[in-house]
């Protein structure tokens, strides 16, 4: 490695793959884990204790839908007792009366609420769940009433990109401190739905202008984070801040990963918590060390002035598009196959033209991959 190994400061804990929604842009793997594969309460608490000892300062509790875990209050309390900052990432559907207040009482620091659309019809259709929009609005109100800071997360794709101004207005009206305009990245279910999801370039350009203007207008009122779409970029983003550089994630069955889609790289074997300690996995796992730092890099990455800015970009994207996880991320303009991105965008645009007005999504569902109109 080109730099000393530092302790991780962040962790994404996917407590479950169960979810009341079936979003076609979901980044979870196509093979979702059932409840009987999930770690039990004590194992999660042991894992969190080891993560804290390792240096982790913040844990994002996610899924699936983490509020489906009946022990969520206990998990939050365990992290809070160790002084760890906790962020609950939720779809905001089906949360029982009084439970958000219980999360706050247990020590939850922040709630991040996803909206599939700024309009009720969009939210309900994308999540394949009727009445979900109003339930999300109620969750936002309850979170603010409980004194929890609120982030609204807006995953952006073809079917809601024109609603970006409405997302901004909605987030302000709900008293959110932060809005994340996050263009969908094509992994997991989103990759399977790429033809139905990818926006037109003109819409992406309009979106960027709208976000820039809103950031200026709302300075001091609400922060807006903007995650642009990789396929239309000229330089890649650092994956998770760099492969196994300062953060990691854990799947519902305890598999420890450097990033969300790492298991799509077939040459790597990822270890489960309890089979080894978290410290051993972070320090010595061959999979974690595979793309750390810069020594693994091929040209042009190895001699590039950006090598310690983007840390080679996304290894999973390189695997999916270049067929080689060690290749330069194809979205980078310096990649020898960067032109392939334009071809993929054009192929997707032409494929989208053949999809009917009632585009078929492959909805996210445990136990089945179901194509619904």
Q: Which residues line the annotated binding site for [4Fe-4S] cluster? A: 19, 23, 26
Residue ranges of the annotated binding site are 19, 23, 26
Strands in 10-14's sheet, in edge-to-edge order, are 223-227, 178-183, 150-156, 110-114, 85-90, 58-62, 10-14, 247-250, 256-257
Residues 6+ apart with CB under 8 A from 185: 27, 227, 229, 230
How many residues are listed for the chain in this entry?
373
CA dihedral 189, 150, 146, 75 (to 10 degrees): 50
Q: In angstroms, what is the C-alpha Rg of the chain?
A: 20
User: Strands, DSSP E only, in the chain?
Assistant: 10-14, 58-62, 85-90, 110-114, 150-156, 178-183, 223-227, 247-250, 256-257, 361-363, 370-372
HSE-CB of 213 using CA atoms within 13 angstroms: 10
């Amino acid at each position: 490695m080109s730099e000393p190994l530092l302790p991780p400061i962040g962790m994404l804990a996917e407590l479950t793959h169960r979810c009341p929604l079936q979003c076609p842009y979901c980044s979870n793997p196509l093979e979702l884990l059932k409840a009987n594969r999930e770690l039990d309460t004590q194992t999660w608490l042991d894992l969190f204790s080891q993560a804290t000892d390792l240096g982790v300062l913040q844990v994002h509790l996610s899924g699936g839908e983490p509020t489906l875990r009946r022990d969520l209050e206990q998990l939050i309390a365990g992290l809070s007792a160790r002084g760890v900052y906790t962020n609950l990432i939720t779809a905001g559907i089906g949360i029982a009366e009084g439970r958000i207040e219980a999360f706050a009482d247990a020590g939850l620091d922040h709630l991040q609420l996803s909206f599939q659309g700024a309009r009720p019809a969009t939210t309900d259709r994308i999540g394949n769940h009727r009445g979900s929009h109003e339930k999300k609005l109620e969750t936002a109100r309850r979170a603010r009433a409980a004194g929890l800071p609120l982030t609204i997360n807006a995953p952006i794709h073809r079917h809601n990109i024109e609603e970006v101004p409405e997302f901004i207005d909605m987030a302000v009206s709900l008293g959110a401190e932060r809005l994340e305009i996050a263009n969908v990245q094509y992994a997991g279910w989103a990759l399977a739905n790429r033809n139905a999801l990818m926006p037109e370039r003109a819409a992406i350009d309009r979106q960027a202008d709208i976000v820039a203007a809103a950031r200026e207008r709302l300075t001091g009122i609400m922060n807006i984070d903007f995650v642009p779409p990789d396929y239309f970029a000229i330089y890649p983003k650092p994956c998770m801040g760099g492969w196994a550089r300062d953060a990691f994630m854990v799947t519902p069955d305890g598999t420890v990963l450097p990033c969300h889609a790492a298991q799509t790289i077939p040459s790597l074997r990822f270890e489960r918590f309890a089979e080894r300690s978290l410290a051993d996995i972070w320090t010595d796992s061959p999979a974690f060390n595979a793309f750390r730092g810069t020594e693994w890099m091929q040209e042009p990455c190895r001699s590039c002035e950006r090598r310690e800015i983007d840390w080679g970009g996304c290894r999973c994207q390189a695997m999916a598009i270049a067929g080689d996880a060690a290749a330069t991320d194809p979205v980078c303009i310096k990649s020898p196959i960067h032109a392939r991105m334009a071809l993929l965008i054009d192929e997707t645009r032409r494929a989208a033209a053949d999809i009917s007005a009632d585009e078929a999504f492959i909805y996210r569902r445990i136990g089945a991959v179901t194509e619904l109109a």
